[in-house]
Amino acid sequence: MIKRVLVKFSGEALAGKNGYGIDTQILNYIANEIKELFDNDIEVGVVVGGGNIIRGVSAAADGIIKRTSGDYMGMLATVINGVAIQEALEHLNVDVRLQTAIEMKEIGESFIIRKAIRHLEKGRIVVFAGGTGNPYFTTDTAATLRASEIGADMIIKATKVDGIYDKDPAKFDDAIKLSEISYDQALTEHIKVMDDTSIALAKDNSLPIIVCDMFKKGNLLAIIKGDMSLCSVVK
Ligand code: GTP
């Protein structure tokens, strides 16, 4: 029985066709997909990236901006997205609390794990923003960390692809989807959908990672009900 999950989706997904910023139609779509879990008595934590606004690594690419500063800029971007997803969920009458890993009290509660768990138990969705609060960690790692901390049964990485392939399906017609792979295989093959740090952390905590297509309506709920056809599992 799945009781609690952490859903991670990328900032880029929010950008829609523009390639930047927040497409409110997509924001609303994502909020509805998350609400479906909530309506089925699943406790949900949410982590969103910030790539639709700025990616730390890219910002620092030419050496003018330091990597650490670039990463902090990226963390701030996830807070902008966190505020947006909080609003979109509240628009659907879902109880939601935004917690930030970097203190900014006027915008959201500070991240306090015991409080986050209490919110989940009381039937509130918790949006975790600000990454891990530290540079050099991706939002995938932040998602895996939060999933481990809240004792989630799984982390659902909602992406543009319906799973993990042996090679890039956009480039190779003969790419084969891997329905299930081990953490060790994911680490040795450096699969592109999740960075090594987050996979290693998931392995340490025996946390299954589900990589799934977020643009197939109803897919998140299908996964909870055991239909893994539009995803791959790392465990
Ligand atoms: P309970 O204590 O379980 O009743 O939880 P609650 O979240 O409803 O109570 P609380 O009084 O802590 O919060 C009321 C509202 O204020 C919620 O929307 C919280 O997200 C928000 N809130 C609480 N603490 C902070 C904070 O430090 N900063 C910001 N910006 N909002 C906060």
What is the enclosing helix (H) or strand (E) of 115? helix 113-121
Range of the domain at 191: 4-234
Per-residue model confidence (pLDDT) at position 16: 87
Least Cα distance to 46 among 194, 147, 132 occurs for: 147
pLDDT at 169: 83
119 CA: nearest ligand 1 atom: 3
CA atoms within 13 A on the CB side of 95: 11
57-72 pLDDT per residue, tens:
888 888 999 999 999 9
209-226 residue pLDDT tens:
999 999 999 999 999 999
Above 80 in pLDDT, residue 170?
Answer: yes
**207 conformational bin, left if phi > 0, alpha if psi -120 to 50, beta if neither:** beta
Range picked from 42-46, 162-166, 167-171, 229-233 for highest mean pLDDT: 42-46
Please tell me whether residue 125 adopts helix, strand or coil conformation: strand
The pLDDT score that the predictor gives to residue 120 is 98
Confidence of residue 19 (pLDDT cuts 50, 70, 90): confident
Give how many domains the chain has, as a whole number.
1
Of 112 and 190, the one with more pLDDT: 112
Rounded distance from Cα 11 to ligand 1 centre (Å) = 25
Segment 99-156, tens digit of pLDDT: 999 999 999 999 999 999 999 999 999 999 999 999 999 999 999 999 999 999 999 9
Strands of the 96-100 sheet, one edge to the other: 109-110, 96-100, 125-129, 43-48, 4-9, 154-159, 209-213, 231-234, 180-181
CA of 108 from ligand 1 middle (Å) equals 8
- Is 157's pLDDT higher than 80? yes
Ligand 1 atom closest to 107 (CA): 30
| Residue 106 Cα to ligand 1 middle (Å) | 11
CA distance linking residue 228 with residue 226, whole number of Å: 6
Per-residue pLDDT at 56 exceeds 90: no
pLDDT higher than threshold 80 for residue 6: yes
The two structure tokens encoding residue 58: 């890219």
CATH number of domain containing 93:
3.40.1160.10
Cβ contact 43:227 at 8 Å: no
Cα 119 to averaged position of ligand 1 atoms, centre (Å): 10
Q: Best of 94, 95, 97 to mutate for ligand 1, by most ligand atoms within 8 A of CB?
A: 97
